[in-house]
């Protein structure tokens, strides 16, 4: 594979997980690759992920854990470059890691280990990295032979045979996230699937906000359901609303104005349990009894909201049933979410209908690729979105080299 009349075989916009993976794979097969990013450092979202330890994949990664307007699109890339493949790469670089709950793999030491891994892979194949560099203009050659790019600080335009959009979505703008991927895709005739913040906390409106403000910091296991999607993990009350893994997962499936169902005692018949406690400890009050199942502050709040501040012996079964439903079938309607400010990913994006699932190449513009979060493919919480970055970046990198 040679540069020929081009300065580079591939120019990749975005030095994040997908972009660096793509560069390493295209370069490993002989391509001359340039990676561009407006940021001061590569892999900034990798650096802050997983509490600084980067949940870099999930051993259960598969199409079932992804949301897209075309649920079949992710199958090819995920099947050809798997979680096991990336984990082998992590091992090869001597990065220590461990498995947490639900198949999540984290670095033992630092997320920077993953960034170094990717930079090392790029350096090994001679991929060039230019930071603090923005794309000012791009034009596709009329004959479909490549692209001409004008960059900030460059004395002349550069030409590349393939161009890859790997700039991610709109989540966490303070990290430099923009909508540039969508603007570029539109420039080349591609449609954008409606975008929304996903894997994001819910925000309460009044009167829930006033009621639950005192519960900020309380965490408990729960099942959270939005639509038909149900997730059993922890929830966390915040000063603004509700967060925690189960809530973040459910937010991907939630729509404005929709209700969310929360079971605070998964797998338990709370009404039957309350009747048993009533028979065994008739003088105890509901708040104290519920504290055997729930954090004390949450138990007290639920009992108070039910108006039950008297001994169990004095409470009729109908009232106990209502109390049980408040625990195991709590329904609330969020006022909204915290938005892109804290969202881990962007739901929606560049429509996958215009791209080949095997290669990530545009069906409309030869040698144009879109990978990672920029596409309308969104994974669950727990390393799935990183796996999509690795898989889609790998697929595009291989395709770029094979086209040479």
What pLDDT score was predicted for residue 338? 97
The full set of domains in the chain, from first to last, is 8-197+343-403 (3.50.50.60), 201-337 (2.40.30.10)
Q: What is the DSSP letter of 37?
A: -
What pLDDT score was predicted for residue 74? 98
Band of the pLDDT at 31, cuts 50, 70, 90? confident
- Give the CA angle between residues 399, 129, 38 to the nearest 5°: 105
What's the chain's length in residues? 404
| Among candidate residues 113, 141, 124, 151, the one with its CA nearest the CA of residue 36 | 151
Q: For the segment 320-362, what is each residue's pLDDT rounded down to a tens digit?
A: 999 999 999 999 999 999 999 999 999 999 999 999 999 999 9
Q: What span, in angstroms and rounded, lies between the C-alpha atoms of 327 and 299?
A: 9
Q: What is the chain's mean pLDDT, rounded?
A: 96
The alpha carbon of 109 is separated from its chain's Cα centroid by a whole number of angstroms, namely 22
Whether 4 shows a pLDDT value over 60: the answer reads no
What pLDDT score was predicted for residue 91? 98
Question: Looking at residues 378-402, what average pLDDT do you find?
Answer: 97
Q: What span, in angstroms and rounded, lies between the C-alpha atoms of 156 and 153?
A: 9
pTM for the predicted model, two decimal places = 0.95
Q: What span, in angstroms and rounded, lies between the C-alpha atoms of 11 and 353?
A: 23
């Amino acid at each position: 594979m040679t540069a020929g009349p081009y300065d580079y075989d591939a120019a990749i916009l975005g030095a994040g997980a997908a972009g660096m993976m793509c560069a390493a794979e295209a370069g490993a097969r002989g391509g001359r690759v340039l990676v561009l990013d407006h940021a001061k450092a590569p892999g900034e979202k990798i650096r802050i992920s997983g509490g600084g330890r980067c949940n870099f994949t999930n051993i259960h990664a598969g199409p079932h854990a992804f949301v897209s307007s075309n649920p079949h699109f992710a199958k090819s890339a995920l099947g050809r470059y798997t979680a096991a493949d990336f984990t082998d790469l992590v091992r090869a670089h001597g990065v220590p890691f461990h498995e947490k709950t639900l198949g999540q793999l984290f670095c033992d030491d630092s997320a920077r280990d993953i960034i170094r891994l990717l930079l090392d892979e790029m350096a090994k194949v001679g991929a060039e990295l230019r930071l603090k560099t923005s794309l000012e203009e791009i034009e596709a050659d009329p004959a479909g032979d490549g692209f001409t790019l004008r960059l900030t600080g460059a004395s002349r335009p550069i030409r590349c045979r393939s161009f890859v959009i790997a700039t991610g979505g709109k989540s966490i703008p303070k990290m430099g996230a923009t909508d540039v991927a969508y603007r570029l895709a539109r420039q080349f005739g591609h449609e954008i699937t409606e975008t929304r913040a996903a894997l994001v906390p819910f925000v309460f409106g009044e009167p829930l906000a006033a009621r639950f403000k005192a519960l900020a910091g309380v965490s408990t296991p729960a099942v959270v359901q939005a639509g038909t999607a149900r997730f059993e993990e922890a929830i966390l009350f915040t000063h603004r609303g509700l967060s925690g893994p189960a809530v973040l997962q459910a937010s991907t499936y939630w729509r404005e104005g929709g209700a969310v169902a929360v079971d605070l005692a998964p797998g338990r018949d709370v009404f039957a349990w309350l009747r048993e406690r009533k028979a065994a400890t008739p003088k105890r009050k509901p708040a104290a009894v519920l504290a055997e199942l729930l954090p004390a502050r949450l138990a007290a709040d639920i009992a108070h909201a039910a108006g039950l501040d008297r001994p169990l012996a004095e409470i009729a079964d109908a009232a106990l049933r209502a109390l049980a439903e408040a625990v195991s079938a709590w329904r609330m309607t969020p006022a909204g979410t915290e938005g892109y400010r804290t969202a881990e990913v962007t739901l929606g994006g560049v429509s996958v209908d215009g791209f080949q699932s095997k290669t990530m190449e545009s069906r409309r513009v030869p040698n144009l690729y879109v990978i990672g979060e920029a596409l309308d493919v969104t994974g669950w919480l727990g390393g799935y979105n990183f796996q999509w970055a690795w898989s889609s970046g790998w697929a595009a990198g291989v395709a770029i080299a094979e086209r040479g």
